[in-house]
Amino acid sequence: MIRIFLIALIASIIPAALYSSADVPAAEKTEVEYLLGLVKTSACKFERNGKLYDGEKAYGHIEKKYEHFRDEITSTETFIEYAATKSMISGKYYLIICSGAEPENTGDWLLKELRKYRESR
């Protein structure tokens, strides 16, 4: 009897836990992966709270924020907003600094790259 109760309890908990976890829809998952790949392989520098980082370090930071805010992220745009736009502690916007170009807010840069990606598909 206890075994049946435990099975029923687990069967009701698992779907509720899966339902409560938000994330980008499956169709947009490739967009997030594409943007993360751009950051990771970029030759540009990323400024966060006054310090410069290469693409690999910026990718690691954005990936951690993505994991932290996964429950609030419901689209590629909210991924950019929560994980790649600004410091939640200092409130300072992240910048991307590419050779031959003016520094740009990382969130704006990623939104432009997202538009290009969607147009190319």
Residue 11 confidence (pLDDT) above 70: no
The set of residues, in sequence order, having a beta carbon less than 8 Å from that of 119 and lying 6+ positions away, is: none
pLDDT at 19: 40
pLDDT value for 22: 77
pLDDT of residue 55: 98
pLDDT digits (tens, 9 = 90+) for 74-113: 999 999 999 999 999 999 999 999 999 999 999 999 999 9
Q: How many CB atoms lie within 10 A of CB 87?
A: 13
Model pTM greater than 0.75?
A: yes
Structure confidence by residue, pLDDT tens digits, 26-65: 889 999 999 999 999 999 999 999 999 999 999 999 999 9
Count other Cβ atoms within 10 Å, centred on residue 10.
Answer: 9
DSSP output for 11-54: HHHHHHHHHH-----HHHHHHHHHHHHHHHH-SSEEEETTEEE-
Confidence of residue 68 (pLDDT cuts 50, 70, 90): very high
CA distance 62 to 104: 17
The pLDDT assigned to 24 comes to 87
Centroid of chain to Cα 6: 36
